Structure 1
Amino acid sequence: MKHAARTALVLAGAGAGAAALRKLASPPSDARSGERWMAVTVNCPPTDVLPEGRPPRPLDEFGDALEITVRPAPGDRGTELAARLRGGVSPTETSLPSRLAGKDPRQEVRRALREAKSLLETGEVMQPDAPPTSREETVGGRLVGLASRRAGGEGVL
């Protein structure tokens, strides 16, 4: 590869990386991030998702702080359960540093949606294996442990 071609390839990669970081760090332009709906697809009919008009326990704990919608999932593949915080969330609370520190209030909504899905489908909240299957004394185990601790409510690896 010639020097000019290598330089162009490196610059293109750096530009793509910078654009990806900018997109992650900045709030979306189409809507304030606190107004976004977060959703899960539950493998049961809509009548079972909100029995007696009440949401499942993990979502019910938020009280009036959440808006909740239920509708059939596309392709007759269960039910889509969606929630969002009423009144929105400030851009500071949803910034990249807040997400990494686990201080984004939407993380609790995501956790509640995952737990509600688990309760509706299995009757219990599924927990990861304890003790974990990775060993902290290995390099790979330390990396997995670090990533799991830093997940900040964003799911399980």
Structure 2
Amino acid sequence: MRTRSSRPRGRRARLPRLAPVALAGGAAAAVAWWRQRRPNRDAVGAHGGGLVLTVDRPAAELDPLPAPLADLGDRVDVELRPAPGGRGTELAATPRPGASGVDRDTLRTALREAKQIAETGEVLRLGDPPHGRRSRTPAGAVLDAVGARAREKGML
């Protein structure tokens, strides 16, 4: 008399191992489809849009603009207004028509660094680990890539 083994054999044995691969492929296809359908968000000012963030400081403390925004000079219009609920100041920046060298990434970086300078007095940087060089592992490579991308776009 044959008894059934606790482990499946043949085609059914491969199915659980292929499931994560199939899920990852489906997720990648969904992300590619979603990115293709969304509007172009890199064109700042194309439809009168700019970027706005809230700084946890009163507008009087932002009177001379922090250096990253001041460096953009007359290429951007900067507006300060009270944030809703008395929670600081909204800092809005919009490129002026015909201004060259101001894209969405440049404007986002300048606003983010201006917020950090206004709130903490410095721009925070991702530094080297204090214990020296780490060995090259897959997890370390992912961490390095995430750190580099976060510096560029401000999001992971």
Point out where structure 1 has 5 or more consecutive residues left out of the alignment: 1-9, 91-102
* Deviations 1:96-152 (CA, angstroms, capped at 9, x unpaired): xxxxxxx98221211111111111111222222x20479461211101212333446
Name the aligned partner's letter for residue 58 of structure 2. P
Do the aligned partners of 1:110 and 1:153 also contact (CA within 8 Å) in 2? no
Partner of 1:122: 120
- CA RMSD between the two structures: 3.3
* Rounded Cα–Cα distance in structure 2 between residues aligned with 1:23 and 1:152: 26
Partner of 2:153: 154
Partner of 2:92: 82
Partner of 1:144: 143
* Rounded Cα–Cα distance in structure 2 between residues aligned with 1:33 and 1:14: 25
Give the match's secondary structure for 1:116. Answer: helix
Partner of 1:20: 34
1:45 and 2:45 correspond: no
* Rounded Cα–Cα distance in structure 2 between residues aligned with 1:109 and 1:80: 15
Q: TM-score, normalised by structure 1?
A: 0.64
Classify 1:109/1:18 alpha carbon distance in 2 versus 1 (closer, same or farther; 3 Å): closer
Classify 1:141/1:85 alpha carbon distance in 2 versus 1 (closer, same or farther; 3 Å): same
Query: How far does residue 27 in structure 1 lie from its aligned partner after superposition?
Result: 2.0
Greater gyration radius: 2
* Rounded Cα–Cα distance in structure 2 between residues aligned with 1:88 and 1:132: 43
Q: TM-score, normalised by structure 2?
A: 0.64
* Rounded Cα–Cα distance in structure 1 between residues aligned with 2:154 and 2:28: 29
* Rounded Cα–Cα distance in structure 2 between residues aligned with 1:46 and 1:153: 28
Do the aligned partners of 1:70 and 1:80 also contact (CA within 8 Å) in 2? yes
Partner of 1:96: none
Query: How far does residue 45 in structure 1 lie from its aligned partner after superposition?
Result: 0.8
